[in-house]
Amino acid sequence: MGFTNRRMPTGTLMRKLTIAALCAAAMACGGDDKAADPASRKFTYGAAGAATFEEQAAADLAQGSAADAQQVQSGTSSDGSSVAGLADAMASQAWGSATVAVAALRAAGIERAVTTVRPAADLTGFDDPTCVTVTTGRISYSGCTITMGLDQLSVNGWFARDGATLAWDVTSALHSVADGYDLDVSAHLTGNLTFGTGTIVGRVRSDNAATIHTAQASMHVAYATIADLDLEHDGNGCVTGGTLELRRVWTDRAPGMPTTGEYADAGLLFSWQGCGVVVVSRSI
């Protein structure tokens, strides 16, 4: 149960693509429009219907993550990557590249880095490996950094398993400097899952943000993805009932950024009717 470094894209091209994507999303650089806590955002849903291909793929991710979570909680596995990254992974599947900031964060390497949770034995790549502390059922990161030329990734937080509960609170941030601008991308992953007999209940959340500073202007965008789970399973890797609500909520927008269509806040309510059988209600 831990975090490891993977090779992340660097260089001028990646940074330029990231800036282009962010500015395209905002339509203008400068200012912000901060929103309330995204967890307070409520959606009204339409009638349930058959899942689209993308929604079914997201549901399959949830089922796989639920199985992984059971193994991590029971101690039979220490790889919780799909659990901590569930909300972002489902959002990427269900809504694709419509959320431009998601693509920008991915391009900057944060999504790949921060959602990769591996056994403690596999922890490598930190500038100072002693920043990682491993105790029974818990792994902590304090001031961990990975330096890549002028780029630096920092990691702070913890993952813990305690009885029927699996929880985590980890922040990863990438700072990059080049070509007359600074780029900062961050992801704050939090979660708390409680396991009963054949049930998993809790929340998985990811708060993501990107900021670009140039001599002429600055721009900040941020959004959260939240997955609220109330699932039933058969103990053999299959979700058999219950619901999962997935929400994507923008928390900071630049002036001129659209708030409708592909840039709107959105929600999906997944309802399982049996093993692998799911219907979906969409926010209206």
Identity at 210, one-letter amino acid code: A
Q: Is the pLDDT of residue 12 over 50?
A: no
What secondary structure does DSSP assign to 166-206, as a single string? EEEEEEEEEEEEETTEEEEEEEEEEEEEEEETTEEEEEEEE
**Which pLDDT score, from 0 to 100, does residue 83 have?**
84
Q: What average pLDDT does the structure give for the chain?
A: 78
Residue 25's φ and ψ, nearest 5 degrees, are -65, -40
Q: Is 207 helix (H, G, I), strand (E, B) or coil?
A: strand
Q: Is 247 helix (H, G, I), strand (E, B) or coil?
A: strand
d(CA 79, CA 82): 8
d(CA 10, CA 149): 9
pLDDT, tens digit, for every residue of 221-259?
888 999 999 999 998 889 999 999 999 998 887 777 778
**Which pLDDT score, from 0 to 100, does residue 2 have?**
52
pTM, two decimals, is: 0.78
Residues 6+ apart with CB under 8 A from 214: 29, 180, 181
Q: Is 60 helix (H, G, I), strand (E, B) or coil?
A: helix
d(CA 71, CA 81): 12
Rg (C-alpha) for the chain, rounded Å, is 19
d(CA 85, CA 205): 8
Residues 89, 78, 197: CA angle, nearest 5 degrees: 80
- Higher confidence at residue 121 or residue 74? 74
Sequence ranges of the domains in the chain:
12-282
Q: Is the pLDDT of residue 22 over 70?
A: no
Q: Is the pLDDT of residue 183 over 90?
A: no
pLDDT, tens digit, for every residue of 122-176?
345 788 989 988 888 888 899 998 888 888 888 899 988 888 999 999 888 888 8
